[in-house]
């Protein structure tokens, strides 16, 4: 399957089975040991390619030759790092393992996998007091967060889970076991909610897609795809303009997927957004993270699309699950931890040339019209309200 989860690829690497990734263009598979090392380490990866990007690339099955070279170079640069002796491996239960298990499920978002893994932590816990359990949970979530510091949804999902599970009056039980089962119940519930979030967003957004409309989408967002798929199933008549989504060409994938559903689709290069904005009725984008201001952090290019759309008075809709709400508040583009990615320019680039390799940008809330979340259709300013209520 095209949208096979990253974990498939990663796990295959783990099993030392060199696989040929169908979409990677004539690139040799990476030396499996290096990949395994990189991905099984519980610590933030010191190499210049962020774990965020690796995950993302793996999710979309796109591994460019440049990336592979960089990855290998990175491993060569830190040859003495031995991640196998991590504290997790000594324990019978590893949250990372669990996390990776969950991630093997296709279509399961990273954050949801993390939430499931944390629920499993509670289940497997041998703690005898609530405090102990909470500490154990905290440790597990920290491990998960450290696994990929650049992923906003992973961090946010872990935080929200901790909040949702531990901040409850159910903890007032005198009996530990009943309290634990209550917490587990909540954890399962949270996992369920998160799982169904995408479906719910798709339902909510149907009212906004009218017959004959033209929708511009950017990159490949599984939520946006779900929305469009649902709309197509509902026999809505609409047209989709897909941006190319350089450099990992995620837009091309989306265009292909939509074509399979018989949705009229047109592919644009990323720089043609302003050119074709005239014929666009609405813009749909996904989000890696929704920050406190109500703005979003998303794949590079979202900001400029939002700016163009704002300039032409077109609505910009964001589809994002509520576990992507993060307590972050970037003031500007540089106020983020950059998630770097390799960029494959077709022509050789001299080393003197500096390349902007950030994988995502920040779109301020004033350029967004509405956010479709599983909490409902929100204006950007409500995000902060929800966050305050969740965290305070």
Among 26, 172, 332, 354, binds other proteins (CB under 8 A): 332
Closest distance of CB 311 from other proteins, Å: 16
321 or 386: whose CB is closer to other proteins? 386
The footprint of other proteins on this chain (CB under 8 A) covers a number of residues equal to 16
Q: Which residues pair with 143 in a beta bridge?
A: none
Q: Is 384 in the site for other proteins (CB under 8 A)?
A: yes
Tokens of 162: 């901790």
Distances (CA, A) of 2 to 14, 61, 146: 20, 7, 28
Taking CB under 8 A as the binding criterion, the range among 41-49, 169-177, 273-281, 328-336 that sits at the site for other proteins is: 328-336
What is the 8-class DSSP label of residue 167? S
x/- letters, 191..230, toward other proteins (CB under 8 A): ----------------------------------------
CA 100 to chain centre: 15
219 or 294: whose CB is closer to other proteins? 294
Identify which of 336, 329, 325 has the alpha carbon closest to the alpha carbon of residue 383. 325
Whether the CA torsion 89, 91, 95, 98 is positive or negative: it is positive
As a whole number of angstroms, the distance between CA 2 and CA 51 comes to 21
135 or 388: whose CB is closer to other proteins? 388
292 or 361: whose CB is closer to other proteins? 292
Q: Is 294 in the site for other proteins (CB under 8 A)?
A: yes
Q: Is 169 in the site for other proteins (CB under 8 A)?
A: no
Closest distance of CB 277 from other proteins, Å: 23
Closest distance of CB 56 from other proteins, Å: 26
What is the 8-class DSSP label of residue 65? H
Closest distance of CB 50 from other proteins, Å: 19
Closest distance of CB 323 from other proteins, Å: 19
Q: Is 245 in the site for other proteins (CB under 8 A)?
A: no
Tokens of 197: 């979030």
CB-CB neighbours of 251 under 10 Å: 25
Tokens of 61: 């099955």
Q: Is 327 in the site for other proteins (CB under 8 A)?
A: yes
Q: Is 172 in the site for other proteins (CB under 8 A)?
A: no
Distances (CA, A) of 178 to 128, 181, 185, 187: 12, 5, 10, 14
Identify which of 349, 361, 239, 243 has the alpha carbon closest to the alpha carbon of residue 296. 361
Q: Is 381 in the site for other proteins (CB under 8 A)?
A: yes
As a whole number of angstroms, the distance between CA 112 and CA 119 comes to 10
Residues 339-378 that bind other proteins (CB under 8 A): 365
Is residue 289 exposed (0-12), middle (13-18) or buried (19+ Cβ within 10 Å)? buried
Which residues make up the interface to other proteins (CB under 8 A)?
292-294, 327, 329, 331-332, 335, 365, 381, 384-385, 388-389, 391-392
């Amino acid at each position: 399957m095209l949208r096979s989860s990253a974990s498939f690829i990663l796990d295959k690497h783990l099993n030392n089975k060199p696989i040929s990734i169908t979409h990677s263009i004539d690139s040799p598979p990476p030396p499996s040991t290096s990949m395994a090392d990189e991905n099984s380490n519980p610590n933030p990866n010191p190499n210049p390619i962020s774990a965020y990007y690796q995950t993302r690339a793996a999710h979309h099955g796109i591994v460019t030759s440049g990336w592979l070279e960089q990855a290998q170079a990175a491993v060569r640069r830190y040859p003495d790092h031995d991640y196998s002796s991590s504290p997790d491996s000594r324990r019978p239960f590893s949250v990372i393992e669990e996390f990776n298990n969950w991630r093997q499920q296709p279509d399961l978002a990273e954050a949801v996998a993390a939430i499931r893994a944390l629920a499993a932590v509670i289940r497997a816990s041998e703690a005898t007091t609530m405090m102990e359990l909470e500490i154990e949970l905290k440790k597990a979530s920290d491990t998960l967060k450290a696994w990929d510091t650049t992923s906003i949804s992973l961090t946010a999902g872990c935080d929200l889970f901790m909040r949702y599970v531990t901040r409850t009056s159910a903890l007032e039980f005198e009996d530990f076991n009943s309290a634990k089962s209550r917490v587990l119940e909540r954890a399962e519930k949270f996992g369920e909610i998160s799982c169904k979030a995408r479906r719910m967003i798709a339902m909510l957004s149907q009212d906004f897609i009218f017959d004959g409309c033209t929708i511009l989408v950017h990159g490949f967002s599984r939520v946006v795809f779900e929305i469009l798929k649902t709309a197509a199933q509902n026999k809505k008549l609409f047209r989709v303009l897909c941006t190319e989504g350089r450099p990992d060409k995620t837009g091309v994938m989306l265009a292909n997927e939509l074509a399979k559903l018989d949705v009229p689709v047109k592919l644009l290069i990323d720089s043609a957004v302003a050119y074709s904005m005239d014929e666009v009725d609405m813009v749909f984008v996904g989000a890696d993270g929704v920050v406190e201001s109500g703005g979003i952090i998303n794949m590079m290019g979202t900001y400029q699309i939002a700016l163009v759309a704002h300039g032409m008075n077109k609505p910009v809709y964001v589809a994002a699950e509520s576990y992507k709400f993060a307590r972050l508040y970037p003031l500007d583009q540089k106020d983020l931890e950059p998630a770097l990615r390799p960029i494959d320019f077709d022509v050789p680039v001299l080393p003197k040339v500096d390349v902007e390799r950030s994988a995502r940008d920040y779109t301020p809330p004033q350029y967004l019209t509405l956010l479709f979340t599983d909490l409902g259709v929100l204006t950007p300013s409500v995000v902060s309200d929800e966050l305050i209520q969740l965290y305070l």
